[in-house]
Structure 1
Amino acid sequence: MPSISLDEIKALALLDRLDVKFILHDSQLAQIMERVSGNYRVLEINGVRPGRYYTTYFDTPDFAMYRSHHNGLRVRHKVRWRWYIDSEMIFLEVKEKTNRERTVKTRTVLSEPVWHFQALDTAWMPPSLNVDTPSLQPVVWNRFQRMTLADFERQERITIDLALEIGKDGRSVPMPGLSIIEIKQRKFSLNSPMARELHRLQLHPTHVSKYCISMAMFYPELKHNRFKPILRRLKAIYER
């Protein structure tokens, strides 16, 4: 695939967008990539593709943000810092799912990872984040490799996450063989080479959150009935 630079892809940030996710096995991904390789450019940073990511998620002591996801609230948030290893950038990010099913991401640059919020400026965070910010604490982490594909003609950005490993403190669960594809568009359209190939393999959109599955697996005392079906599907892929 032809490459695209980090500076070039910034014009396709799509910080306000519609997201559609799919889960599949790496063998299915290989089939798809053979057929769509001529339609996209792939992000390459310092000669590296795919990129490496490390993420830590935060929540309140009573897990208010996790519970908002589990309870299916129309407006919900994730707070995290993400280390974009190959570009040597760390961002503190808030992802908001609006009541119109759009994803809006706001973020600020960090000079280093943070583990508490007491001394941080949080004025940039969206007013809809109705939590006691100083009380936020790290709850789970993940690391993975990501291919990022870009199609400026269709205003489409696609991420493909591979080699996912989730964890809490010193414990971790690797998920070999699992791929998570996320199609990001201003307005979802099946007029997309990637969407057509996923449809051809009879793969359907799936509500999957790396944060939520991590929380369900590492905090079994929390209610997680809503996530049991997706946990079973994921295990069927990475344990096969």
Structure 2
Amino acid sequence: MTDTMTDILSLLSEMKTISLEEMSAVKLMKRNDTKYVTNVPTLMRLLQLTQSKYYVQEINDSRIANYNTLYWDFCDDHHYYLIHAQKRKPRTKVRTRRYVDSGIAFLEIKRKDNHGKTRKKRVKVPMQDTIMQDSLVGEPFLEEQLGLKFSDLIPAMSNFFSRITLVNYEKTERVTIDFNLRFDNHETGKKQRLDNLVIIELKRDGRTHSPLLAMLRELRIKPSGFSKYVIGSAITNSSLRQNLLRKRLRTVAKRINHPDSYLKEYNDEEKKVNIEN
């Protein structure tokens, strides 16, 4: 275990916990979602501030969950990537997500409409990689939702990350904190990691009071759109159109305090260790 992970776990150990069953009661009917990008040292300071106002989700005695997501796109024009890179609406993502600690996986269709409202539908699949080996797994769901077959798409890019989930004591908002990001491009074979990057997403009920907003302002953490699929694809596939992303990539580099070399390649053995532990 790295020193960073040890420090994060130490901070989380000081917080009250909330179970997955209790989390299901936190229904945000009129939800506003806002993303923020920062770095690991600032995350440490943020966790100190949240200790007296937020629960941390705990599942099977663990307060950090590990995720593996595989994104699908059209092989000829990378339509889903381009739509997202251009911030056009409506837009769609097709992905399979595996909860590494439990092994449970879902095929998910995530849509954002013209009003910015996000809707997600999913179906459980035996294993994430099963779809790559047998396209009939999950294909009826894909046809029902989008009128597509898996033969129309290719597995484009995978990511791996760790997540902390917080809930305020009033249970009017959820906060997800993603870090330890790894990217693996299935087309180019290129792998990259963003060691110091932290993505925070605040999901709250309408415009209710949020203790987190004051903390974010205190730490000078500003709202910033961030798509793991788009950024991960851009930094692992140089053939994709990236002119619209240059500003966002510079912003990411600046906020994680590595303006010249914030990308680090990683090998298969290191990736294996990070996934399994």
- TM-score, scaled to structure 2: 0.77
The structure-2 alpha-carbon separation of the partners of 1:125 and 1:98, relative to structure 1 and needing over 3 Å to count, comes to: farther
Q: 1:84 to 1:101 in 2, by over 3 A?
A: same
Shift of 1:131: 5.5
Provide the C-alpha distance between the structure 1 equivalents of 2:92 and 2:185, rounded to a whole number of angstroms: 20
Q: Percent of pairs identical after alignment?
A: 32
TM-score normalised to the size of structure 1? Answer: 0.88
Query: In the superposition, relative to structure 1, how do residues 49 and 8 fare at CA in structure 2: closer, same or farther (>3 Å)?
Result: same
Mean Cα deviation higher: 140-149 or 154-163: 154-163
Say if 2:121 is the partner of 1:106.
yes
Kindly state the Cα deviation for residue 91 of structure 1 after the two structures are TM-superposed.
1.1
Matches within 5 A, 1:89-238: 89-113=104-128, 114-115=131-132, 118-122=135-139, 124=141, 129=146, 134-151=151-168, 153-169=170-186, 170-189=189-208, 191-236=209-254, 237=256
Give the letter for the 1:98 counterpart: D
Please state if 1:63 is matched with 2:81: no
Determine helix, strand or coil for the equivalent of 1:45.
coil
CA RMSD between the two structures: 2.5
CA distance in 1, matches of 2:150, 2:169: 37
- 8 Å contact kept, 2:192–2:236: no
Of residues 42, 46, 56 in structure 2, which corresponds to 1:42?
Answer: 56
- Secondary structure, aligned partner of 1:35: helix
Separation of aligned partners in 1, 2:181 and 2:193? 6
How far is the alpha carbon of 1:129 from its aligned partner?
4.2
What 5-or-longer segments of structure 1 have no aligned partner?
none
How far the C-alpha of 1:115 sits from its partner, in A, is: 1.7
C-alpha separation between the residues in 1 aligned to 2:232 and 2:163?
18
- For 2:96, the equivalent position in structure 1 comes to 81
Structure with more strand by fraction: 1
- Counterparts of 1:95 and 1:238, CA distance in 2: 31
Query: What stretches of structure 1 move > 4 A for 4+ residues in a row?
Result: 13-16, 121-133
Deviations 1:93-113 (A, max 9, x none): 111111111221111111111
Give the Cα–Cα distance (whole angstroms) in 2 for the partners of residues 17 and 121 of structure 1.
29
Distance 1:64 1:233, change over 3 A: same
Comparing 116-125 with 35-44, which one deviates more in the overlay? Answer: 116-125
* Count of residue correspondences: 239
In the aligned structure 2, how far is the partner of 1:126 from the partner of 1:4?
Answer: 37
Q: Secondary structure of the residue that 2:119 maps to in structure 1?
A: strand
Structure 1 residues 70 and 209, CA, compared in 2 at 3 Å: closer, same or farther? same
Per-residue CA deviation, residues 104-137 of structure 1 (Å, 9 max, x unaligned), is: 1111111111227841445545977476654121
The runs of 5 or more residues in structure 2 that have no matched partner are 1-14, 260-277
Distance 1:125 1:132 in 2: 7
Q: CA 1:56/1:206 → structure 2, altered by over 3 Å: closer, same or farther? A: same
Change (3 A) 1:45 1:175: same
Which is helix-richer, 1 or 2?
Answer: 2
1:229 offset after TM fit, Å?
A: 1.5
Quick one: structure 1 residues 59 and 15, their matched pair in 2 at CA, closer, same or farther if it must change by over 3 Å?
Answer: farther
